[in-house]
């Protein structure tokens, strides 16, 4: 049985962090905008995150709507170059995408271990969204520093890789599709957390990032084992 360890008070634990699968909407690009170009010219030369080789996802499937909604929300985000601010603003829709995926799993899935995981994701990620929203309210506007260009580029690369890795046709098995989508989703969360640790001095966010890495590496291991047992 999949059992999630209890997280001590004061330490955020991310079960699933979603910048999730790339389902194209009406945007030419599906990443987070950078600088002043969030709503203007989105050419890559001006710093807007583009597909960088990601294929156009036309497959649909049970998770298509939640993926589309998440990517639309993230498309509207402007990367400031403030590692803390960008991490939290990106993680909120990412978490919401995980919740939406878990709700689809609970409605349509059948595997007991995955259903337990889905319930835990919803509980943990909703609480973390509330905490991150409070962090944003307390923090105020972004405060980009001398590393802002490197920070924006780092988050760009992570999101592009996630979109490529999650661009896949559904298998027809909801349980399997959930796992196949959630593994690269978790990997993106871990990459974002490591980037945050590289640049942040905010103790609360550093604890959050460390929890992301620890918990999601464990969950990736569980999901790989599930795939091996359910080939």
CA distance linking residue 223 with residue 215, whole number of Å: 12
Give 157: exposed, middle or buried? Use CB within 10 Å, 0-12, 13-18, 19+.
middle
Give the pLDDT of residue 72: 66
Give the pLDDT of residue 75: 64
Residue 26 is classified by DSSP as: S
Mean pLDDT, rounded, for 90-119: 92
Mean pLDDT of the chain: 76
* pLDDT tens sequence across 118-151: 998 898 889 889 999 999 999 999 999 999 999 9
Give the pLDDT of residue 95: 85
CA distance linking residue 141 with residue 133, whole number of Å: 13
Domains of the chain: 62-229 (1.20.1260.10)
Give the pLDDT of residue 128: 86
CA distance linking residue 19 with residue 74, whole number of Å: 8
Which range (60-64, 184-188, 203-207) has the least confidence? 60-64
Pick from 187, 21, 215: nearest CA to 128: 215
Q: How far is CA 94 from the centre of its chain?
A: 4
Are the CB atoms for 135 and 92 separated by under 8 Å?
no
């Amino acid at each position: 049985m999949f059992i999630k360890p209890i997280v001590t008070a004061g330490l955020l634990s991310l079960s699933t962090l979603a910048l999730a699968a790339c389902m194209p909407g009406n945007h030419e690009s599906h990443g987070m905008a950078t600088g002043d170009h969030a709503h203007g010219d989105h050419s890559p030369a001006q710093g807007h995150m583009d597909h960088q080789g990601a294929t156009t996802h036309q497959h649909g499937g049970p998770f298509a709507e939640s993926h589309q909604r998440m990517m639309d929300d993230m498309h509207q985000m402007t990367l400031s170059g403030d590692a803390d601010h960008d991490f939290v603003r990106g993680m909120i829709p990412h978490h919401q995408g995980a919740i939406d995926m878990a709700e689809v799993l609970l409605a349509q899935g059948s595997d007991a271990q995955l259903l337990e995981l889905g319930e835990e994701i919803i509980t943990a990620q909703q609480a973390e969204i509330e905490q991150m929203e409070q962090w944003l309210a307390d923090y105020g506007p972004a405060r980009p520093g001398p590393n802002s260009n490197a920070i924006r580029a780092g988050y760009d690369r992570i999101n592009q890789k996630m979109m490529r890795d999650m661009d896949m046709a559904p298998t027809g098995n909801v349980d399997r599709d959930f796992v196949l989508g959630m593994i690269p989703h978790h990997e993106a969360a871990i990459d974002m957390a490591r980037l945050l640790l590289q640049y942040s001095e905010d103790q609360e966010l550093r604890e959050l990032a460390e929890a992301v890495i620890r918990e999601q590496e464990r969950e990736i291991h569980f999901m790989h084992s599930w795939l091996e047992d359910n080939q």
